[in-house]
Amino acid sequence: FFDSLTEQKPDPLLELIAKFAADPRPGKIDLGVGVYRDETGRTPVMKAVKAAEHHLWETQQSKSYIGPEGDPVFLRTLASEVFGERRGGKPVAGIQTPGGTGALRLAAELLALDKRRKIWIGTPTWVNHQAIFASVGLQIATYRFFDIEKQTVLVDEMLTTLRNAAPGDAVLLQTSCHNPTGAALSQQNWRDIADIIAAKGLIPLFDNAYQGLGRGRVEDAAGMIDVIETVAEAMVAVSCSKSFSLYRERTGAAYLFGDRQASLNKAIGNLASYARTSYSMPPAHGAAIVAATLEDPSLHRTWVDELSEMRTRIVEIRLAAAEAFGQFRPELANIGSQEGMFSLLPISPENVRQLRSEHGIYMPDSGRINVAGMRVRDIASVAERIGPYLT
Ligand code: PMP
């Protein structure tokens, strides 16, 4: 049986990591990896996380099961942090999940219950999105989101496409720090999106994986909250992987917003039953860290400061990169007003490969770069090397 199976292609990003590791050149640079890096190239454990882990080690009395919905303290504290006090007093219910991916997968399972439903996904997007929704048999429709050559969001095209969606269809939206483009929507854009979603009876599913790494913790969620306040029902997949640097701890949550608490609880019960038949219950450690951090005012302050430091570094890199890359292509000055870790360069896959072999600069074929993969002092020379390969 095993031998009869189809060979699966390895994840291109993991392949890239292996190639990078095997490259002996000292000046090599990895812009492919999807994690935050500090100026020394490391992805450190946050101080607040270390302190919370220490506290847990001292106080945790049991590792008995907690149940498919996860830790209620984690869900409550994370909801306050992510959504704040606004959201029009709308009822909310949540379930802890293994990372943001786990939340997206549970949401996908629920949406796929109606076989007529499509999910509308902007392109380009995170490589795993289409695969997650396709794996539950959900119909996928796309709208163009970003013009790589012009480095601008195609808002009008997006709005026109969404006006043609059928009532009951879902729309996938990235809350902030768009992966892979870094493109940001204005508050007016979000209001227009909210109005269309409300008027057409669509269901927004927010992928919230980078809150705090764009303009700020509160600012990054403002558009999402506008939409939640305007529409009848909304779903949100939250990832703590980047904002708490908890990647491998698999920490996240799915939240549902609606008009009636009873309906939300029923929907969460459905999500919990999918969890029960796949991984049973979510891993506890990362969520316990997040809960301990958010509950304790001093740990919370430490975490906020560390997150701000990460954001400040990203902004600093972006401003320098905008100047350096803008000399080769004026449109790339937009890197400075884009947000989060990623930007998408106008470069062909052949040139990406050539850049890799000739200069040891690594990025996926799409041309997505993680700006946090650069040290500030290297930006000008990285841009000099990439510039001639741009289309
Ligand atoms: N959504 C987006 C846009 C992402 O970039 C990622 C991580 N690369 C995720 C979701 C999933 O994050 P997690 O590791 O928490 O599953």
Q: Which residues are annotated as catalytic?
A: 126, 207, 242
Band (pLDDT 50/70/90 cuts) for residue 87 is low
**What is the torsion angle, in degrees rounded to the nearest 10, for the CA atoms of residue 100, residue 104, residue 110 and residue 113?**
-160
Extract the tokens encoding 145.
């989101």
- Number of Cβ within a 10 Å radius of residue 223: 23
Both structure tokens of 256:
């549902």
pLDDT at 173 over 70: yes
One domain for residues 282 and 377: no
87 half-sphere exposure, CB direction, 13 A CA radius: 24
* Span 257-268, average pLDDT: 97
Q: What's the pLDDT at 186? A: 97
Domain boundary among 241, 275, 296: 296
> Which pLDDT score is estimated for 248?
97
Does the pTM of the predicted model rise above 0.90? Answer: yes
The answer on 321 and 189 residing in a single domain is no
The residue whose C-alpha atom lies closest to atom 1 belonging to ligand 1 is 209
Point out the domain boundary residue: 296, 320, 349: 296
Tens digits of per-residue pLDDT, 31-66?
998 999 999 999 999 999 999 999 999 999 999 999
**Does the pLDDT of residue 226 top 80, yes or no?**
yes
267 and 329 fall within a common domain: no
H helices of 112-260, in order, are: 128-135, 155-163, 187-200, 222-230
Asked if pLDDT for residue 12 goes beyond 90, the answer is: no
Query: Considering only 3-12, 105-114, 141-150, which range has the smallest mean pLDDT?
Result: 3-12
Q: Does 112 have pLDDT greater than 70?
A: yes
Q: Which atom of ligand 1 is nearest to the CA of 179?
A: 3
Tokens representing 182 are 């870094």
What average pLDDT score do residues 147-152 get? 97
- Name the CA dihedral angle for 140, 146, 147, 150, rounded to a multiple of 10 degrees: 180
Nearest CA to ligand 1 atom 2: 209
Domain boundary among 266, 296, 326: 296
Name residue, tokens 């400061």.
305
- Please state the domain count of the chain: 2
Query: Within this chain, do residues 268 and 362 fall inside the same structural domain, yes or no?
Result: no
Q: What is the ipTM of this complex?
A: 0.99
Confidence of residue 11 (pLDDT cuts 50, 70, 90): confident
The confidence score (pLDDT) of residue 10 equals: 86
Nearest-angstrom CA–CA distance, 130 and 126: 8
Residues 97-105 have a mean pLDDT of: 98
- C-alpha pair distances (Å), 334 with each of 54, 86, 323: 42, 31, 9
pLDDT level of residue 88 (50, 70, 90 thresholds):
low
Q: Is the pLDDT of residue 85 over 90?
A: no
Q: Are residues 30 and 145 in the same domain?
A: no
282 in the same domain as 133: yes
| One domain for residues 292 and 305 | no
* Mean pLDDT value of segment 98-124: 98
Q: Whose CA is closest to 73, among 268, 292, 270, 271? A: 292
Summary mean pLDDT of the chain: 96
**Cα of 177 to ligand 1 centre, how many Å?**
11
Percent of the chain with pLDDT over 90: 96
Residue numbers of the domain that contains 92 = 51-296
Single-letter amino acid code for the residue at 180: P
324-379 per-position pLDDT tens digit? 999 999 999 999 999 999 999 999 999 999 999 999 999 999 999 999 999 999 99
Q: What atom in ligand 1 is closest to the CA of residue 207?
A: 1
**Is residue 147 located within the same domain as residue 224?**
yes
Same domain, 188 and 311: no
208 shares its domain with 193? yes
Instruction: Looking at the CA of residue 178, tell me the nearest atom of ligand 1.
Output: 3
The CA distance from 257 to 229, in Å, is 9
CATH code: domain of residue 257: 3.40.640.10
Residues 8 and 143 in one domain: no
How far does residue 367's CA lie from ligand 1's centre (Å)?
Answer: 18
Q: Decide: 343 in ligand 1 pocket, CB within 6 A.
A: no
**26 contacts: CB under 8 Å, gap ≥ 6:** none
Same domain (yes/no): 110, 141:
yes
- Give the residue, out of 123, 126, 178, 243, with the most ligand 1 atoms within 8 A of its beta carbon, to mutate for a pocket test: 126
Q: Residue 203 CB: number of other CB atoms within 10 A?
A: 21
